[in-house]
């Protein structure tokens, strides 16, 4: 697990460091303080180097606002603080007690992202194949090329227009990670595969226990084929099983969270707006289920929230499951410098804030 994470010149961050990280890390802050961007940075450092991962959030936002899907991809400069590509992005994660069987970065190694000069790119690299019509790089495309490297490896990535992305071969090491967007759902086929894996490991009880928090009628889950793809059904004591896809946002949110943890064992799960779909009355129980699953699957969690109730529920849950497994951070923007800083709240501070209804979300 990461015990420390630092990012420089990435999106809205000039220099941000989170210290004393633990198994479950909850992050709050006002809008536009970089909560999602922080998760993106951890995803990139953990090994999600696909350019689509780096840019998809802005692309989706642009498309939703424009009401059509034929928007070209933005330039790499949106990844850099104040759009300044002259300063490289540096990501640094500390991994104590490294488990050698995992394909992860050595402890305390930095990852650097930069826009290289055209002359610095090796001849013969696939990055030169920018389209089916050309084998050369024009000078006006130089901001569309990006380099990711650590101490041992480097790789070039580039964006092609018309919504197509081309990448050079990437051999950087990585740690398992999954990024769950605020309302993202796994495909039926992927869910069926992951649930089948849980059944083979005889660990399906952890997901059943979590789902019973949402609907106590659930007694079992099964995969049924009414065509393709296969779907997962819940037994509720009705005339026939119910497809879980029809059972509401809260049910599917919990199902997705636990299933994702099972898929990324020994790695990192990044959750944007974890409270989505979860009623405040069950959030403490949800946190207990998350804590149990995270320990079972040896997963480190980074989650963002806008919800005071979700923060309070986490504090209550981890009093019982173990406060050392929980950290709460708030991202604040300095009114003078506009730099974003991370403030860690101790359990006692959160307790006092909850009692006084003090605003800890930002």
- Return the ∠ at Cα 247 (arms to 241 and 250), rounded to 5°: 140
Residue that has been written with the tokens 């950087």 in this structure: 172
- DSSP annotation of 33 reads S
Instruction: Give CA–CA dist 360/362, Å, rounded.
Output: 6
For every one of its 362 residues, what pLDDT tens digit does the chain have, with 9 covering 90 and above? 899 999 999 988 999 999 989 999 999 988 888 898 999 899 888 877 665 556 554 444 444 444 444 444 456 777 889 888 888 888 888 876 544 333 444 445 678 888 776 665 555 454 433 333 333 334 333 345 677 777 666 776 665 544 444 455 555 567 888 888 776 666 777 888 888 888 888 888 888 999 999 999 999 999 888 777 788 999 999 999 999 888 888 888 898 899 999 989 889 999 999 998 888 899 999 999 999 999 999 999 999 998 888 998 998 899 887 778 999 999 988 888 888 999 888 877 777 666 655 556 55
CATH 3.40.50.300, domain 178-356, yes or no:
yes
Note the pLDDT of residue 362. 56
Pair 158, 166: CB distance under 8 Å: yes
Which residues in 115-210 belong to E strands, given as ranges? 145-149, 154-159, 165-167, 177-180
Give ranges for CATH 3.40.50.300 in the chain. 178-356
- Strand pairing category for 300-304 and 13-19: unpaired
Residue 273 has a pLDDT of 92
The DSSP 8-state label assigned to residue 58 in this structure reads: H
Q: pLDDT at position 242, please?
A: 92
pTM (two decimals): 0.82
The helix, strand and coil proportions of the chain, stated in percent and rounded to the nearest 5, come to 35, 25, 40
């Amino acid at each position: 697990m990461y015990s420390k994470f630092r990012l420089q010149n990435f999106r809205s961050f000039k220099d941000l460091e989170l210290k004393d990280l633990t198994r479950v890390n909850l992050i709050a802050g006002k809008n536009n303080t970089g909560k999602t961007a922080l998760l993106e940075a951890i995803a990139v450092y953990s090994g999600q180097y696909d350019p689509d991962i780096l840019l998809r959030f802005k692309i989706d936002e642009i498309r939703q606002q424009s009401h059509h899907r034929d928007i070209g991809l933005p330039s790499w400069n949106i990844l850099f603080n104040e759009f300044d590509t002259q300063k490289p992005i540096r990501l640094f994660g500390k991994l104590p007690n490294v488990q050698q069987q995992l394909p992860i970065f050595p402890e305390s190694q930095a990852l650097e992202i930069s826009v290289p000069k055209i002359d610095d790119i090796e001849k013969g690299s696939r990055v030169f194949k920018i389209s089916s019509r050309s084998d050369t790089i024009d000078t006006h495309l130089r901001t569309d090329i990006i380099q990711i490297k650590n101490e041992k490896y480097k790789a070039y990535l580039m964006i092609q227009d018309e919504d197509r992305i081309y990448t050079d071969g990437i051999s950087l090491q990585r740690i398992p990670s999954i990024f769950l967007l605020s309302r993202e759902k796994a495909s039926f086929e992927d869910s069926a595969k992951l649930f089948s894996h849980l059944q083979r490991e005889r660990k399906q009880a952890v997901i059943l226990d979590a789902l019973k928090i949402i609907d106590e009628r659930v007694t079992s889950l099964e995969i049924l084929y009414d065509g393709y793809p296969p779907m997962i059904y819940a037994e509720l004591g009705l005339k026939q099983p119910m497809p879980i896809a029809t059972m509401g946002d809260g049910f599917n949110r919990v199902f997705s969270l636990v299933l994702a943890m099972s898929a990324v064992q020994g790695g990192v799960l990044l959750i944007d707006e974890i409270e989505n779909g979860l009623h405040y009355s069950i959030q403490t129980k949800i946190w207990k289920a998350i804590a149990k699953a995270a320990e079972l699957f040896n997963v480190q969690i980074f989650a963002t929230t806008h919800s005071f109730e979700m923060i309070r529920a986490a504090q209550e849950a981890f009093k019982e499951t173990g406060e050392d497994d929980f950290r709460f951070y708030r991202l604040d923007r300095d009114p003078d410098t506009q730099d974003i800083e991370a403030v860690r709240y101790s359990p006692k501070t959160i307790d006092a804030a909850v009692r006084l209804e003090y605003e800890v979300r930002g």
